[in-house]
Structures are given as structure tokens and as C-alpha cells.
Chains A and B, each alone.
Chain A
Amino acid sequence: MQFDAPAGSNIFDDARIVGKSTPRIDGPNKVTGTAPYAYERHDVVADQAYGWIVGAGIAKGRITSMELTAAKAAPGVIAIVTAPDTQPVGKGMDNHAPLFGGSEITHYHQAIACVVAETFEQARAAAALIDTNYDRSTGSFDFDAVRASAPRSGEAETLGDFETAFAEAAVQIDETYTTPGQTHAMMEPLATIAAWDGDKLTLWTSNQMITWAKESLGDILGIDSANVRVDSPYVGGGFGGKLFIRADAVLAALASKAAKRPVKIMMQRPLVANNATHRQATHQRIRLGARMDGHITALSHQNWSYNVEGASGETATAQTAKVYAGANRLTAEYCATLDLPEGNAMRAPGEAVGHLALEVAMDELAEALGMDPIELRVVNEPDAVPGNPGKRFSDRNLVRCLREGADRFGWSERSATPAARREGRWLFGVGVAAGYRGAPTCKSGARVHLADGRIVVETDMTDIGTGTYTIIAQTAAEMMGVPLDHVTVTLGDSSFPASAGSGGQWGATSSTAGVYAACVALRRQIGEVLGFDADDARFEDGSIVAANKAFRLADAGTLSAEDTIRFGKFKKDYDVATYAGHFCEVAVDAYTGETHIRRMLAVCDAGRILNPLSARSQVIGAMVMAAGAALTEELTVDTRFGCFVNHDLAGYEVPVHADIPHQEVIFLDTLDEIVSPMKAKGVGELGICGPGAAIANAIYNATGIRVRDYPLTLDKYLDRLPAIA
């Protein structure tokens, strides 16, 4: 099915199942521990051996020797695959650092060997017996040292004459904000079971993008991807960290070949941060020039980041062309090359940290103008895409998000004067930020089977916690007129039709639109079998009413249909995006500077919400991750050793239960005709765009102290807190 024009009215406008809060259909399996994740699939293939990954002990250089005698002789060892004895494997989609093979080391904890043994304990013990010697070479690990000489990535985006307009502006803000590296820290580490049958390879793995994975494995291993099957029905969190094939999958495949047995590998947690990908640090300069009435006349956002050779930085300016009006503009990205681990997508790449700068700069501008921060944003609401005035917004309700959020949150009680509200040792403050995140779509296919009046959906779409099983079941149930429990959804298998996959918050609307397309095709087949015009029929309660005649779905027998939704060029005329107003209240300890989040609210504009229950969870979860980015999360680089030194879950502090209060989410009742037949947009990344800035602004409102260096740990402002008696 081709989506070539705005949706118009369709079945979902009178939906009975889509759009209703629905507990997850996979929920009972998840809460009983019976949902199978990659490493624990004992039943898929017999005789699984255990693999253990050895990570490089240096960040840059060459392996000069690898002594394996003791490891090979160790009890239970079946095979050892080493990098020096393996030709470098190829690179799959969006792989930049080498995955495995050869003697060259380009980053810390790069995989250099895999030990396969009968048991996990034997593999781990034998791996420790490998004695590796290196010829260490000098690497470049210090972002601050190379930042100033980083080349610009592509052309700067300019409009009007920024420099002149900024110089002439009545009020100017010129501030620099920094964000550190962050790690996905999904709870399920990268994990794969691999098995060969002749030249056919099956990987039971944990991956967000099945079609990419299958294609990439062909490129990486130098085999025909048609011989690769990937299966990933449950993914224990990804956040971008499982978009691409990583060392666990590569080593499982290579080790399984060497061991002539299926091999299972879970990357050890202490390796994940340095071996796999991360969100890179940024250094962002924002200049805002405004008239006294708040209208922005000059807006510049320059961002410096880094990556390994040939890969792009964390593009923090991604949202800046879209959010606020302003006739004179300059945005530019600069990317240094470093010998740190590879940077790659993490939840809302670019925007997540871009908002930590832009939305604090707006707060600073509001204060400089003596304006309410919400009013400042409203004044600068654009009519068309500010950085690209020829482009329209498909459906944008940011002002409603902010206004309705202000009402709900009690914004009018805010003191505009910072540090004005103290109770005992606690300083209280509130903050606001806007949120913008694009709502892309990708072609997505599905196959739908009918048998005995029940529906089975097959697609290689993944559910990474997003609630995909349920929204796909809702879509199929709605389309085919059956109760939800008459729909079985099977996901994540590359033998199913290729889907959009889970990433970029495009998954929900794309994959359900693909299921919609397949269901339209199935309805037509049923119409042909039973003799009615499916496009004028109503499918309800296991029955079909067409031209005043009733039919039973079960009478159509066994049928299958497959289709793919494809999105047409007309969408290029629009900026299709999601919007939010994020609000936060904090209490800061006047003595110690500890910040406690007391309230969080997000008001979201994302078109139709397919399942408000699970969509809300995505938003609150993203708000939690934003809280971590604002307050605690930082991959600390040791520039001498070239590594993230706090590479476990004790050293890298993600938020815990006690950090997070009750969270509130409101979805505006909007529909986006441009995005897809579902008129729905994703929310999983919208939720991380803004809350961190709202926290930072609330801390300023509480204390009068502005810290622009994330995370906002107490050591950065302890000496600026009120004097103690």
C-alpha cells in the first residue's frame, strides 16, 4: 500500500480497540518470567556451548602476542577464536569501529578473543589465562584538547544575517553548555546464540532492527545474507544500543563455526560501555538575540562533538531549525576524531542533549527579558519551519502543550525570582522546557493469516519495551473485527516480512500502518471468497456486514495476505514532528546541594495515541532517562588510558526508584493526517527531549545558580549555595 496523500477519515476515527488503554498482551509472560530473551533460549537448538568475550586492555595499538597455551589446556575449553588469527570481519550497517579481527586495537575493550567452553564458569576461567601483549601507541582521547580544531561537518545552516542581527539585538544570551558521554545501560546486555547448519546461520539475539541485522551479518561475515536467519522476539531494552550488529553476534557466529557447536554469548556488563556504542559528549554554544518584546531576531547553535574516523558526532543542533522563530539563524556541527569507542545512536540522538542546551538558553533569555519562560516560547512560535520557511508543519500544538501543562502544573504559582522559596533546609523551584522530536516513518511490512476466525500477524518488527505486540494486536483486531484475544502477534523473526523496526520513534506508526495494509489486503481476499466488496464492509465481532448482508469471518476459511506500507513523496512538504511541554519541581538541599525531583509532568502532542497505557510508560521512562542525563549520568573518560573508567552499573549511575516521584503525562487529543494512515506519531523519544532542561531550570529557580555543565552534580555548585551559619 502506498501512502501518497493525507489520511482522510478512516476506520481508526471510529476505533473501538485502537486508541484505548490496553494492558500488554505479552504482559503475563513478562511478569511470570516466561517471555524468552536471547541468552536463555535453551530450547531452540541443542548442545549450546558458552562463549566469553575478552576485551582489549589498551585503547590504541597492536597486539604483539597472545599466549593461549594455558587457556587451551584449561578444563572444558572447546575452542578459542582470537583476533590476530582472524581476518578482520566486514562492517555492517552503521558499524564504524572494527568489530573483530586483526591485531590492531582502535578502542578500549575492543573484542580480541572469544573462549568457548562446556560451561560458563570454564569459559570465564580460561579467558583469564590468556596473556596478551601489546604495542601501545599514542591515541587521542581528550575531547577538550581537540575540540577547537574539529572540522565542520557539512555546511553550516544559515538564514539572514545572524552576526549583524545578534550584534544589534536588545537582549543577548551567549552561553556554552556541555554534556558528557552516556551509555544506554539497557538491562539486558548484548546477547546472542548462534548456530550453523551447513552454510546457514541462525542467530537468536537481542536486536531492534531485524532486516538491518540480517543484511549486515552478510556483509560482516562475508556470506550471503539469504542464508542468515535472525530471531529476536523479546529485547531487554535497546535505546539505540541494539540498532546494529555488535561483537556478541559476530563472535557467537565465529565461535560457533570454530567450535562446531551452537554458542551462546552474553557480553559481560563491565565490557558493554567501552566495547559497544555510546552517546558522545557535546560542547554547545548558543547565542540568542531578542527584542524587548521577546521576539528572537538572531539564533545560533553551534555544536562540537566527536567520533571515530569517518563517523558523525552527536548532532545536538538537530531540533534547533524547527522549534523557535527567528529571521537570522546560524547552526553548525563540528566533529573531532578521537580514539574513544564508537559513538552511535542513543535515544533521540542529537535532540536529547540538544534540548539540555537550547531549552536552558531559552530560560536564560526569559530571565534576561523579565518574561515568563512559557510566554517567551509562545511569542516565538513559528508559522512555518523557521530554518526552512518553505516547509509546513503537519500538525503542531506546542503552545497547547505549554498552556495546558501550565494549568495542570500550577505554573502561575511559580516565583519568577530565583531562590525565593525555602522550607527548612530545602530550596524549591519549578522549571519548564519545550520538547520537539521528529516523527519519521519507514516502510513496513506484515503478513496476516486468518484461520477459524482467528488472526495471526507476522512481521519482523520488534518490541523493545515499546508495547509493539499490543498495538499491532489492537490494529489487527480493529481491522478484522475480532476481539483482541483472537489475535496472535509474532515478531522479530527475519523469516517474516521486513518491517520498520524499532528506532527513531518511527516504529509504532510505521509497523501498525504495515499491519493495516496487510489487513486491507486480507479483507479484500475475504470479500472475494465470501462475495462482498471489502472496502465497503464493516468487520465487527467476528462478523462482516456488507451491502446489508451479514457474513461470518470464520466462513472465509484459511487465508493469508501480505503487504507493505510505503510512504510517498508528499510528506517531504511537511515537517512531521511531536511536541511536548515538560514541567518539573525540584527541592535542593541548601546545605549539600542534593537535588530531589518532586514532580514531573509532560504534556505531549503526538497525534493519535494507539495505546495510552503503554505510550504513557514510554514517556515516563524517557523522563527518567532525562533525569539521569540531567543529574547523574556521565561516562568519565580517563584521557591517559583512553577508556570510560566507570564502566559498570555501580560507577555509572542511572536513576533508581528513589530518584523518581509520581510522574504525570497528558496526551493532547490530536490527529496527524500526514504521518500515516494511523494518524499516530511516536512518543518514545519525545519524552527525553526537554525534561532534563526542565530539571536544570527548576534547579536555577530553586537556587539562583546556573550550571551549564551536565550532569548537574552538587560539586559543581556547592560553593555557590547559601552560606551556612
Chain B
Amino acid sequence: MKAFTYERATSPEQAAAAVAGRDGAKFIAGGTNLLDLMKLQIEAPTHLVDLQDLGLDKIDATRDGGLRIGALVTNTALASDDRVRAQYGVLTRAIVAGASGQLRNKATTAGNLLQRTRCPYFYDTNLPCNKRAPGSGCAAAEGFSRQLAVIGTSDQCIATYPGDMAIALRLLDATVETVMPDGTGRSIALADFHRLPGDQPWLDNTLAEGELIISVTLPKPIGGRHIYRKVRDRRSYAFALVSVAAVLHDDGTGRVAFGGVAHKPWRSEEAEALLPQGAGAVVERAFAGAAPTDDNKFKITLADRTLASVIAEARS
């Protein structure tokens, strides 16, 4: 870990300016992913701007019946919120399917959106990885790719976004609110927040330099049965092979998003329109154009079978 200087930000605007105005500066919130990567010098900031004093740890009702979640609300606090549990159950379910109790106590809403891939080649600085070392190649494409993406990949990168919470947020049509270094703000639909790797796999998302997430907003509740099913090798404290986030209504319609399959939460509104026809139709459409490896092609079958199980559970 390279030496860095450290400050505690006093306002979102000051934080954004502090990061934008300095090469190698980075925000730190929970730190559970950033410090892991700093120890391996995959991330090497020279200055850390700690956001913990910004007061962005509240969950407030919005005027149109939704919830505005402060960027620093911890995973545990968000999952535990009575309104979330009652009306956005898929979000609580997704959060508690991820990581461990200790990590969820520290991890934040914004930080979790920014979680970087768990591709083993990204994590080993001796090995090629275009995401970590642009131009070095993608060792995963013809390597150990069982955990990695099957769709939306490029010849440069087959990394997955590893988180769970964002899969539910994508399903719920959440938006991300930010503040820019110049003090202006914007709102980004979660659908547009994470990128596909394309020919710039080092970019995970569409945030600008120094742009700071201040909140994530959920539109008003949509009812339905909320289910998050995460399939993994061990029963807990493991990343998804495939996860399915779903809100299903009695008439057979609903929404579905997949985790563990792409560089971003994978949801196709066209595909989910086929829910009344069953899992097979949805998965066929959602994964049209998939380019899996021999190691991970099982994920498409698994997505199909998991969604079928979710639909069966919703009907029961």
C-alpha cells in the first residue's frame, strides 16, 4: 500500500472538489473493497477523502412515495429499515445474501454500487488483466472463468459486477444522485450507472472524475412478490454463480434481473415482458447474444432453472 494523506470531508461539495482537484485522490466510505485492493496495490490512491462525517446516512421518504437512501447508509441499516423490508423486500433479500454481517455493517449503499470485480486475474498483479492494467490482455477469457460473465462481455474483459444489492436496485428502477466537483448535481438511472466493459474495461461505471454519489432513490413501491435467489457454491459468504431478483405479480407479470452474469446488473425489460410464458422464454430473450466460455456456459441453464424456481415459489 502506497503512502497517502487523509482528510475527513465536511460537505459533499467540498469532498467532490477535494478529489477532483488532486491527482490520485479517492473517496473512502466503508472501505471494505477499496482497502482490500489498496493492500494489493490494485488501487493506489495518494490521498483519501473520508466521507463519514457528511451525514448521508438517512433514509427519507420522497414526495412521490419512494425512498431516498443516503449514500452512506450501511448495508445493514438499509436491509433493516422497516419500509424497505415491507415494501422493497427484494432489496433487503439481496443485501443480506451478500458478504457477511461484519462487512454489511461497514459497507455503504454508494460503495457497494462501486464494488469492483472479483475476477481472480484482476486480483493477481502478476497476471494480465485489461481492467487492472489496460493493454495487458484478458487472462480470464481462456482461463478460469467459472465465476465470470456470460453476456455483455468484450474481447477485452469478461469480468462480472459481483454485488447483490445493485441487482435489486436495478430491478426497482432506482436512480443515483450525485454531486459534481463544481457543485452541480445530476441523477443517473441505475440502468445507466454500470457500464459494459467494451474497449475500456477499466471503467466500471459512468461517474465522472470527482463525481460523488450522495443518494440512491427508489420510486414508489410496486407491490408483488419480492424474491431474491442467489445460487453459489457454499451456502453463505460467497459470490453468486447466478442470482435472480424478481418482483412477480399474481397475473404472471413482473420484473426480473440477473446477477453474476455480466459487468452490470442484467435486466431486459423486453425479456421480462415474457414472464407469463415462463422462465425459458425470459431467459432465452434476456441471454440472447450471450458469449459464455466453456467454464461458465452452465450459468445460462442455471439462470433458467433458478428463475423457474423463483416463479414456482411466487405461485405457491
Could you list which residues of chain A lie within 8 angstroms of chain B, going by C-beta atoms? Answer: 57-58, 75, 121, 124-125, 128, 270, 425, 589, 591-592, 594, 596, 631-632, 636, 638, 640-641, 643, 645-648, 650-651, 653, 655-659, 711, 713-715, 718-719, 721, 724-725
Contacts and interface: CB of A to CB of B under 8 A. Distances in A.
B256 to A, nearest CB: 15
A656 B236 contact: yes
Contacts of A270: 40, 123-124
Closest 4 CB pairs of A and B: A57-B126, A591-B309, A658-B236, A658-B235
Contacts of B40: 270
A725 B124 contact: no
Contact of B2 (A128, A592, A711): A128
B156 to A, nearest CB: 18
B273 interface: no
B129 to A, nearest CB: 12
B118 interface: yes
Contacts, number: 111
Contacts of B39: 124
A55 to B, nearest CB: 8
B139 A641 contact: yes
Interface stretch (B23-31, B86-94, B164-172, B297-305): B297-305
B310 to A, nearest CB: 9
B224 interface: no
A658 B143 contact: no
Contacts of B305: 591-592, 718, 721, 724
Contacts of A636: 144, 146
29 contacts: A57-B125, A121-B1, A125-B1, A125-B2, A125-B3, A425-B309, A591-B306, A591-B308, A591-B312, A592-B231, A592-B305, A592-B309, A594-B232, A632-B233, A638-B127, A638-B144, A640-B142, A641-B127, A643-B127, A645-B144, A650-B118, A656-B236, A657-B236, A658-B237, A714-B241, A718-B305, A724-B309, A725-B278, A725-B308
Contact of A724 (B125, B235, B237, B308): B308
A653 B1 contact: no
A340 to B, nearest CB: 15
Nearest to B301: A718
A594 B144 contact: no
A656 B3 CA distance: 35
A329 B289 CA distance: 54
A715 B302 contact: yes
Nearest to B298: A715
A589 B41 contact: no
B124 A647 contact: yes
Contacts of A651: 118, 120, 123
B3 A724 contact: no
Interface residues of B, number: 41
A70 to B, nearest CB: 12
B158 to A, nearest CB: 14
Contacts of B306: 591-592
A128 B41 contact: yes
Nearest to A55: B126
Contacts of A58: 126
Interface of A is mostly: loop
Interface in B143-168: 143-144, 146
A630 to B, nearest CB: 12
A645 B302 contact: no
Contact of A718 (B232, B302, B312): B302
Nearest to A716: B298
A468 to B, nearest CB: 30
Given A638-B143, A645-B121, A719 B236 contact: no
Interface string B262-289: 0000000000000000110000000000
B290 to A, nearest CB: 16
B296 to A, nearest CB: 8
Main SS at interface, chain B: loop
Contacts of A714: 231, 233, 241, 298, 302
A632 B236 CA distance: 12
B237 A656 contact: yes
Given A591-B306, A715-B298, A718-B302, A631 B233 contact: yes
Nearest to B238: A653
Contacts of B1: 121, 124-125, 128
B234 interface: yes
A594 B278 CA distance: 22
A594 B241 CA distance: 11
Contact of A713 (B2, B127, B233): B233
Nearest to A628: B234
A645 B235 contact: no
A246 to B, nearest CB: 20
B124 A592 contact: no
Contacts of B302: 592, 714-715, 718
A631 B235 CA distance: 11
Contacts of A641: 126-127, 139
Given A589-B309, A638-B127, A725-B308, 17 more contacts: A125-B3, A591-B305, A594-B235, A632-B233, A632-B234, A641-B139, A643-B124, A645-B124, A645-B144, A651-B118, A653-B238, A656-B234, A656-B237, A657-B236, A659-B236, A715-B241, A724-B305
A58 B124 CA distance: 12
Contacts of B304: 724
A592 to B, nearest CB: 5
Nearest to A657: B236
A664 B233 CA distance: 24
Nearest to B146: A715
Contact of A655 (B41, B125, B234, B308): B234
Contact of B120 (A645, A721, A724): A645
B236 A594 contact: no
A594 B234 CA distance: 9
A428 to B, nearest CB: 17
Contacts of B146: 636, 715
A591, A631, A632, A718 pick with most chain B CB within 10 angstroms: A591
B143 A645 contact: yes
Contacts of A656: 234-238
Contacts of B238: 653, 656
A53 to B, nearest CB: 14
B2 A719 contact: no
Contacts of B309: 425, 589, 591-592, 724
A658 B121 contact: no
Contact of A719 (B118, B231, B301): B301
B19 to A, nearest CB: 22
A592 B306 CA distance: 6
Contact of A596 (B125, B235, B313): B235
B195 to A, nearest CB: 24
A631 B234 contact: yes
Contacts of B124: 270, 643, 645, 647
B205 to A, nearest CB: 22
Count chain B CB atoms within 10 A of each CB in A125, A270, A592 and give the residue with the most: A592
Contacts of A725: 278, 308, 312
A657 B312 CA distance: 28
A659 B237 CA distance: 10
A646 B145 CA distance: 11
Interface in B70-100: none
Contact of A659 (B123, B143, B234, B241): B234
A653 B118 contact: no
Contacts of A711: 233
Contacts of B142: 640
A25 B75 CA distance: 40
A719 B1 CA distance: 45
A137 to B, nearest CB: 16
A648 B123 contact: yes
Contacts of B237: 656, 658
A248 to B, nearest CB: 18
Nearest to A59: B126
